[in-house]
A = this chain, B = another copy of it.
Amino acid sequence: MLEPVKVGVLGLGTVGGGTVHVLQRNAKEIARRAGRGIVVSHACAKEINQTHPYSVDDIVLTEQLTDVVNHPQVDIVVELLGGTTIARDITLQAIANGKHVVTANKALIAAHGNEIFAAAQEKGVVIAFEAAVGGGIPVIKAVREGLAGNQIDWVAGIINGTSNFILTEMREKGSEFSDVLAQAQQLGYAEKDPTFDIEGIDAAHKLTILASIAFGIPLQFDKVYKEGITKITQEDVQYAEELGYRIKHLGITQRSEKGVEVRVHPTLISNKCLLANVEGVMNAVLVESDALGQSLYYGAGAGALPTGSAIVADLVDVTRTLTTDPGNRVPHLAFQQNALVDLPILPIEDIETAYYLRMTALDKLGVLAKVTQILSEQQISIEAIIQKEPLCGAPHVSVVILTHKVVEKQLNQAIQAIENLEGITGEITRIRLEILDG
């Protein structure tokens, strides 16, 4: 295997810490995918959170940005400083030194991306910025590579989690804007100065980038129309609901005959569409393109580990470009051919899920008691029971039971015992039930 790739991280705050954490925790899986290790060798930070869940034992720590970007051993620089002044200077310096750069800095790309990409092009290095839009959702990759065959018609996205959290709480709890904002600040979902989020500036940075990769136009942040959510009242939220709509803060970019629309504002959308059902701090981007039609990309738009996930994906992509032999390409099954592992595939009998059971019972006292006794003997606990009144004169009733999780083998035994009961007729219908809440 090749030598590990060496990464220098500028900033060990929330996202920097998350990136180091993900790289260390998943080091083995990442090397299985990338074909070589990816390690943080240098990091620049004023101070480090003392309760960090990662190790700094093998990292050279410094307070000087130039110690990282000028170090000959550093292959890739991860820029997590935020802002557009120092971040711009240091990114250009890293490029001048021939370093590839991975960044989560949407403001930097939106404001200075044209200049930075031109410098990178000249030096032959890569600037990767998946984490700049939609946090951990691989939406840059989806639009830029996954939709490469399409003409993109429009993109509409919930790309600011703070605004979406506030609008969700206003609808679900009936609270007013200012109260939810205070709550969001307490929960850490909104900054002390929330202007960038609630006035649409953060969303406009991200939409600037989406418009460019959708339509192949230069980045033009200053031309984006920006409107935040500060004027949305409880009254509007309720009227929208009554009319079958939901208010979401969307970034919309659309190609028309006259040019390109790039606009950020509160928007009513039908409560039936998927985007309307993206709630809380979650992000989602809906794309309409000529060949695929509508596609949607959903996930966590912020946070240490989700953003770290996007940065590590970029680090893997950049790592693949460092050598050019075929063994370095994206492996067919995500992991290198010789790194596949032979985990056993479990037989269905050993799998544990919850169940929906439907049976037909004679409406006779005691049948239900016997059924529940059999379930209890197999240690199957019950989440819910519905017993339907028998139809006029009919001797049979339907009994529907939702169980908690149970190993299939045990359920099979219980079902057999129940089907043998006097008072139960026919086969029991069973459908598995999944919670899908992680």
Contacts and interface: CB of A to CB of B under 8 A. Distances in A.
A188 interface: no
A127 interface: yes
A343 B149 contact: no
A252 interface: yes
Contact of A260 (B156, B252, B345): B345
A265 to B, nearest CB: 6
Interface stretch (A61-69, A87-95, A179-187, A324-332): A324-332
Interface string A55-97: 0000000000000000000000000000000000000000000
A342 B217 contact: yes
Interface string A132-146: 000011100111111
Interface string A297-316: 11110000110111111011
Interface in A336-357: 337, 339-348, 350-351, 356
A370 interface: no
A14 interface: no
Contacts of A243: 356, 384, 386, 400, 402
A267 B435 CA distance: 10
Contacts of A22: 149-150, 291
B292 A341 contact: no
Given A267-B434, A306-B291, A313 B147 contact: yes
A138 B142 contact: yes
A15 to B, nearest CB: 12
Interface in A122-165: 124-127, 129-130, 136-138, 141-151, 153, 156
- Nearest first, the 7 closest Cβ-Cβ pairs linking A and B are A138-B146, A149-B312, A295-B299, A216-B335, A259-B344, A291-B309, A324-B324
Given A30-B148, A145-B334, A296-B296, 20 more contacts: A126-B332, A129-B332, A138-B142, A144-B333, A216-B335, A220-B345, A224-B345, A225-B347, A236-B358, A236-B431, A243-B386, A258-B344, A266-B432, A267-B431, A269-B436, A288-B436, A291-B309, A294-B300, A295-B298, A297-B297
